[in-house]
């Protein structure tokens, strides 16, 4: 037996296990930020706020104008509303949508 090498065959189990770990990591990477954004929206909802139902023709700018703080730039109000509702800058609002308007 001297001089003979022992060769082990891989049973193939290690490959699928690593693949499953990779799938889970990718899923967490994709879903994690969305869950965090919803958590932020819920945290904002607990602060003093008002719910507004979007009507046909409403814009986020007009809604922000109606609820902005005195001497506050309307762009700041728009951003507060976006953050409170987990809206990305590229997202549109639509009729029937309920928006949380932070009051503080």
Q: Kindly report, residue by residue over 61-71, the tens digit of the pLDDT.
A: 999 999 999 99
pLDDT of residue 84: 95
Asked if the structure places residue 83 within a domain, the reply is: yes
Evaluate the CA torsion angle 85, 87, 89, 90 in order and state its sign: negative
93 or 5, greater pLDDT: 93
Cα–Cα distance measured from residue 68 to residue 64, given in angstroms and rounded to the nearest whole number: 6
For 37-52, give the DSSP string: HHHHHHHHHHSSEEEE
End-to-end Cα distance, the chain: 82
Asked if the structure places residue 80 within a domain, the reply is: yes
The mean predicted confidence, pLDDT, of the chain is 83
pLDDT of residue 23: 79
pLDDT of residue 51: 96
Q: Is the pLDDT of residue 12 over 60?
A: no
Q: Which domain holds residue 78?
A: 15-102
pTM of the model: 0.55
Asked if the structure places residue 82 within a domain, the reply is: yes
Asked if the structure places residue 71 within a domain, the reply is: yes
Q: Is the pLDDT of residue 94 over 70?
A: yes
Cα–Cα distance measured from residue 36 to residue 49, given in angstroms and rounded to the nearest whole number: 20
Q: Domain count for the chain, please give it.
A: 1
pLDDT of residue 36: 64
Asked if the structure places residue 51 within a domain, the reply is: yes
Percentage of the chain with pLDDT > 70? 72
Cα–Cα distance measured from residue 26 to residue 98, given in angstroms and rounded to the nearest whole number: 31
At 52, give phi and psi (nearest 5°): -125, 135
């Amino acid at each position: 037996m001297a001089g003979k090498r022992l060769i082990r065959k891989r049973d193939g189990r290690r490959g699928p296990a690593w693949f499953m770990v990779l799938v889970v990591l990718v899923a967490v990477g994709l879903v994690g930020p969305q869950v965090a954004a919803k958590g932020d929206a819920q945290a904002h909802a607990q602060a003093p706020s008002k719910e507004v139902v979007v009507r046909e023709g409403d814009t986020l700018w007009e809604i922000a104008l109606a609820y902005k703080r005195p001497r506050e730039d309307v762009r700041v109000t728009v951003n507060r509303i976006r953050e409170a509702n987990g809206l990305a800058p590229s997202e549109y609002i639509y009729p029937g949508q309920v928006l949380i308007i932070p009051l503080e």
